[in-house]
Amino acid sequence: MIIRFKKIKKRTLFYYLINLVSAVLLMSETTSIVKPFLLVLCSILMIPNPLAYIPMLFVSSWSISFTALPGLAAFFYYLVLFFISVFISLLINKEKAVSFVSSFPAARFSLLFAIWIFATAFSSVSGVWYGAVKLALYIIPIYIISRLRLRDMSFCRTSIDIIAAFFSVYCLYVLLFAPVQYYSDLETYGRNSLRSDMNPNTVAQIVLLLFTILYCEAFRTKKYWLMLFALLDVGTIMFLGSRTAFFTMVIVAAVYLMIVLKTSFFKKILISLVFVVLFIGVYSIGIGAGRSERLSLSSIEADEGSGRFYSWEVLLTEVIPYHLVKGVGVGKENYENLPIFALDADNLYIDLLTATGIVGLILFFMYYASTVIHLFRFRKKKRDWDFLIAIFLAYLFEGIGETVYDTPVFWFWGILSVMAINELKHSENNIEEEQQPESGFLFPEETTCPPMNNL
């Protein structure tokens, strides 16, 4: 395989570079004044290209502890700059890099869900509304961005691919050679993590996303060497000992290969055998390292899902029946103010029903199903966004052991999905399903950023 760097414009390479530099700075835990200075400088340099902020939304959504400036969440910082950049593009860009389009059902359902969250915030059990309002602010941008069409979304896809590959190496290296100890309120011992303020289970969720992106992109672009990066993610998840992420990874890899991927049955069997051999190799090497001994079904039964089974029983029998319509409210404060002892369920479905009631649960899944249906429908034009389908599938399984819906990274995929749907929906060229695959990762053969000649 030959990577044609000469076909990549210098300006595009520059945006890839500042995306990666900014991502590394966000992940670092240094308290030096240089860090916010460099982050702000890089973010200002992205102004001519609205799409450059999308990969930064991806990375900044990994943890609410990420800040671009002291006291300012990085996710909202980059979101504001994205809208400023879009506004400038609409004002002075004659090439129409950004245009207005009509919304669609998935985006409207997300808005209805956000409105419901906001409306019930002030009648929560604890009276604390901050968590619900913050969650609504994660969701509302999905609807707003669904009204915009940005040209050349391949830049976002490629930049996310680069970030995923880099951090697949970075995460495994840090956990093996320079781990940071994380201490939770419920444990007296530390666990290895990437940052002292990042729960290892949160890290495992991020690594699962990196795996899903690289796994799907390897098949889409037919650059199977990307699978090597995905296998590093397998090792990282084993080391972290996250059972939910591990089993989700196995299920998603199998379902995507056998159902979503369009190729002959013989090729699927051959690819499955090769991948199983590699997977067993990584598993054999990694077993015994970190907390990998937890990666068995028997361990789940032994510790009752780390106490989740008790929480599920209490919420289903003692809480949900009395707050069925509108729930107890979003935020752990509401669980703490219940008349009985109850912890959050660490389960997407039970926690949604508990916090937002049956109305919130229905609105959420109407949004979720509509998004997946749209992605599948427009897949007939292009298969460039298959990894989004796989990620939405992954969350269905990840949601069994993690709440997920209350994190910004979950809603980032809603933002990227509506942008991808608008690209496919309003594509000028009807591309046959059996198209030649893009280079995709490192790099598209012809990648350009939205022209901003007047800047």
Residues 213 and 288 both lie in one domain: yes
According to DSSP, the residues that pair with 69 across neighbouring strands are 72
* Residue where a domain terminates, one of 271, 300, 329: 300
Spatial distance between the Cα atoms of 357 and 117, rounded to a whole number of angstroms: 10
Confidence at residue 454, expressed as pLDDT on a 0 to 100 scale: 41
Residues 109 and 195 both lie in one domain: no
CB neighbour list of residue 73: distance below 8 Å, 6 or more residues apart: 60, 64, 66, 67
Spatial distance between the Cα atoms of 30 and 305, rounded to a whole number of angstroms: 35
Residues 5 and 22 both lie in one domain: yes
Residues 292 and 351 both lie in one domain: no
Looking at the domain assignment, is residue 89 inside a domain? yes
Residues 311 and 296 both lie in one domain: no
How many CB atoms neighbour CB 195 within 10 A? 18
**For the purposes of burial, counting CB atoms within 10 Å of the CB of 149, is it exposed (0-12), middle (13-18) or buried (19 or more)?**
buried
Residues 107 and 90 both lie in one domain: no
Looking at the domain assignment, is residue 42 inside a domain? yes
| Conformational region of residue 149, where left means phi above 0, alpha means psi within -120 to 50, and beta covers everything else | beta
Confidence at residue 434, expressed as pLDDT on a 0 to 100 scale: 37
Radius of gyration of the CA atoms of the chain, in A: 22
How many structural domains is the chain composed of?
3
* Residue where a domain terminates, one of 36, 67, 97: 97
Looking at the domain assignment, is residue 386 inside a domain? yes
Residues 135 and 208 both lie in one domain: no
Residues 61 and 122 both lie in one domain: no
Looking at the domain assignment, is residue 32 inside a domain? yes
Residues 259 and 319 both lie in one domain: no
End-to-end CA distance of the chain: 36
Residues 281 and 345 both lie in one domain: no
Confidence at residue 33, expressed as pLDDT on a 0 to 100 scale: 84
Confidence at residue 405, expressed as pLDDT on a 0 to 100 scale: 92
Confidence at residue 159, expressed as pLDDT on a 0 to 100 scale: 95
Spatial distance between the Cα atoms of 111 and 93, rounded to a whole number of angstroms: 29
Domain of 174 in residue numbering reads as 167-300
The single residue listed with the structure tokens 């019930």 is 120
Residues 271 and 238 both lie in one domain: yes
Looking at the domain assignment, is residue 79 inside a domain? yes
Q: What is the pLDDT along the chain (455 residues), one digit of tens a residue?
A: 344 444 667 888 999 999 999 999 999 888 778 889 999 999 999 999 999 999 999 999 998 888 887 778 999 999 999 999 999 988 886 557 788 888 889 999 999 999 999 988 888 888 888 889 999 999 999 999 999 999 888 899 999 999 999 999 999 999 888 888 887 766 656 777 888 888 888 899 999 999 999 999 988 888 888 888 998 998 888 888 788 888 899 889 888 888 777 777 777 787 777 777 776 766 666 555 555 556 666 666 666 556 678 888 888 888 889 889 989 889 888 888 887 767 778 889 999 999 999 999 999 999 999 999 999 888 777 778 889 999 999 999 999 988 899 999 999 999 999 999 998 887 644 444 334 444 444 444 444 444 444 43
pTM over 0.85: yes
Q: Is 455 strand, coil or helix?
A: coil
Residues 209 and 241 both lie in one domain: yes
The single residue listed with the structure tokens 């245009």 is 99
Looking at the domain assignment, is residue 317 inside a domain? yes
Confidence at residue 131, expressed as pLDDT on a 0 to 100 scale: 87
Looking at the domain assignment, is residue 6 inside a domain? yes
Looking at the domain assignment, is residue 56 inside a domain? yes
* Residue where a domain terminates, one of 275, 300, 325: 300
Confidence at residue 152, expressed as pLDDT on a 0 to 100 scale: 82
